[in-house]
Amino acid sequence: MRELVGRPYHEIRPRLGKDLSVRELVDAYLENIARLDGQVRAYLTVSADQARAQARELDDRLARGEPLPPLAGVPVAVKDNLCTRGVRTTCGSRILEPFVPPYDATAVQRLREAGAVLLGKTNLDEFAMGSSTENSGFFATRNPWRLDHVPGGSSGGSAAAVAAGEALAALGSDTGGSIRQPASLCGVVGLKPTYGRVSRYGLVAFASSLDQIGPLSLDVRDCALVLQAICGRDPHDSTSVDLPVPDFVASLEAGVRGVRVGVPAEFFGEGLQPEVRQAVLEAVRVLEGLGARVEEVALPTLEYALPTYYLIACAEASSNLARYDGVAYGYRSPRAHDLYTLYARTRAEGFGPEVKRRIMLGTFALSEGYYEGFYKKAQQVRTLVRRDFDRCFQTVDVLATPTSPVAGFRLGERTADPLQMYLADVYTIPVNLAGLPGISVPCGFVEGLPVGLQLVGRPFEEATVLRVAYAYEQATEWHRHRCPLLRA
């Protein structure tokens, strides 16, 4: 059944209930996990029994002649910062190692309702804080294209799982690029929806005003399918917006003739790997060739986005992560003998260094005497970043940029210098600050490592972003490439 693995769902679906059962599809993926995950290490938890039970149930429904739900039988992986009822949810942290949620995240529940089969939970940088998945409290995930390279992060497990055929699609979360950057590094499609498009209920919060859940998939059509299933207002999330959800798949083929594509010069400056620059500019030319109108735009606040992002994200995180204290759930230090040591030792033993660093940075930015100069200043600059994007979108429909400044980096290459690691997200971060939809699609290779093109749209215009990405994808072959590991 190896031939099933690594094919997009829209190719598989017509066979379901005919020459292919859900059980066979799910088994093929579980077998591939067994074959490859020892090397890739994408999963923290594989819930094979539950997956098989769910597959059987779907096959029974098919046998009874019930209509196929939209994601019937899609073997999905879910980032381990999304709550799954009865399945351990660790956030890649020792502090949540024992935590089994009593509820499903809304996005997970919607996936299940759409017929997707949950294969397991994927590795991530602890609490989604990182850009390489090396900050996982358990182990590092590897890039399936080159195992000595990182898969990106923080949704590195989800991106690697899709790239290695260990899941047909996956959910990730994106606070500053954590879906798009690993999608770029692993050569898959990854979309961060507009803030408010997908309910965050059940997503373990890193930075509440920036976090969004989104899909990772083999191609744009599958991405649209998964997005369709998880979108929409949820009464459990006050920030999920009550707007109609368009039919993303139906609008894919509208083409890009007349679409105005903006290229912000600041995204092509210092720090960008020349080969990446070439690949992205070539992609822009492809869009132009398909009838898009390309023009240069300016985002002068780009250089301020990174500090702004880290101040806001860390401030929110310092508060969001205060609840991991050893009291009502999760890890508790055996060395706790009073209230203070219960807190301070549980957290000292439970959190890794990057999480501690960010909690400290955020606590500092909010503390008396520093709030105005750091946190509030960052919130004001956030306003300026938004205004930059607003201005761009007065003249263009989408922006085209590199997703990541480099095609990839080796394991251990950036772990010693936090600031170098932060710079990996320099092109994705501004999009979160403005709450906009952004996608990364494969657009080339550098030394066997994939390169990603980022397309960014106006708020709630995921359909436009998907349509441009689809047009590009259909005109190129990058999305058909599979990593050597999977082909072996």
- Which positions from 397 through 436 interact with other proteins, judged by CB under 8 A? 418-419, 422, 432-435
Phi, psi (deg, nearest 5) at residue 49: -60, -45
Q: Which residue in the set 348, 390, 475, 487 belongs to the binding site for other proteins (CB under 8 A)?
A: 348
* Residue in 93, 178, 240, 404 annotated catalytic: 178
Per CB under 8 A, which region of 43-51, 118-126, 218-226, 308-316 contacts other proteins?
308-316
> What's the closest the beta carbon of residue 200 comes to other proteins, in angstroms?
6
Q: Which residue in the set 237, 275, 282, 413 belongs to the binding site for other proteins (CB under 8 A)?
A: 237
Residue 138 sits in the site that holds other proteins (CB under 8 A): no
Give the span between the Cα atoms of 180 and 174, in whole angstroms.
Answer: 8
Nearest to 58 by CA among 76, 77, 74: 74
Q: Which is nearer to other proteins, 35 or 377 (CB)?
A: 377
Residue 308: HSE in the Cβ half-sphere, 13 Å Cα cutoff? 25
Q: Which is nearer to other proteins, 291 or 353 (CB)?
A: 353
Instruction: Compute CA 52 distance to the chain's CA centroid, rounded to the nearest angstrom.
Output: 26
> What's the closest the beta carbon of residue 138 comes to other proteins, in angstroms?
17
Counting residues that bind other proteins (by CB under 8 A) gives 97
Q: Which of residues 101-130 bind other proteins (CB under 8 A)?
A: 101-103, 105
Q: Which residue in the set 17, 75, 326, 457 belongs to the binding site for other proteins (CB under 8 A)?
A: 326
- Asked if residue 335 lies in contact with residue 345, where contact means CB atoms within 8 angstroms, the answer is yes
SS3 label, residue 127? helix
Residue 191 sits in the site that holds other proteins (CB under 8 A): no
Within 41-105, where are the H helices?
Answer: 48-63
- Asked if residue 402 lies in contact with residue 280, where contact means CB atoms within 8 angstroms, the answer is yes
Give the span between the Cα atoms of 55 and 191, in whole angstroms.
Answer: 27
Residue 303 sits in the site that holds other proteins (CB under 8 A): yes
The interface mask with other proteins, positions 22-61, x = CB under 8 A, is ----------------------------------------
> What's the closest the beta carbon of residue 124 comes to other proteins, in angstroms?
13
Per CB under 8 A, which region of 34-42, 144-152, 203-211, 276-284 contacts other proteins?
203-211
Q: Which residue in the set 363, 415, 474, 476 belongs to the binding site for other proteins (CB under 8 A)?
A: 363
Phi, psi (deg, nearest 5) at residue 118: -80, 115
Residue 356 sits in the site that holds other proteins (CB under 8 A): yes
Nearest to 152 by CA among 176, 172, 134: 134
Per CB under 8 A, which region of 29-37, 60-68, 367-375, 440-448 contacts other proteins?
367-375
Residue 446 sits in the site that holds other proteins (CB under 8 A): no
Q: For residue 73, what are the contacts with CB-CB under 8 A and spacing of at least 6?
A: 12, 13, 16, 22, 25, 26, 55, 58, 115, 116, 117
Residue 204 sits in the site that holds other proteins (CB under 8 A): yes
Give the span between the Cα atoms of 306 and 392, in whole angstroms.
Answer: 19
Q: Which residue in the set 371, 413, 415, 476 belongs to the binding site for other proteins (CB under 8 A)?
A: 371
Nearest to 140 by CA among 36, 45, 41: 41
Q: Which residue matches tokens 């938004």?
A: 386
Assess whether 154 carries a catalytic annotation.
yes
Assess whether 79 carries a catalytic annotation.
yes
Q: For residue 47, what are the contacts with CB-CB under 8 A and spacing of at least 6?
A: 84, 87, 118, 119, 120, 121
Give the total residue count for the chain. Answer: 488
Assess whether 217 carries a catalytic annotation.
no
Q: Which residue in the set 61, 88, 345, 481 belongs to the binding site for other proteins (CB under 8 A)?
A: 345
Q: Which residue in the set 63, 247, 367, 395 belongs to the binding site for other proteins (CB under 8 A)?
A: 367
Degrees, nearest 5: CA angle 104-110-116: 100
- Asked if residue 443 lies in contact with residue 436, where contact means CB atoms within 8 angstroms, the answer is no
Q: Which of residues 68-97 bind other proteins (CB under 8 A)?
A: 81-83, 89, 91, 96
> What's the closest the beta carbon of residue 111 comes to other proteins, in angstroms?
15
- Asked if residue 409 lies in contact with residue 149, where contact means CB atoms within 8 angstroms, the answer is yes
Q: Give the residue numbers annotated as catalytic, written as ranges.
A: 79, 154, 178
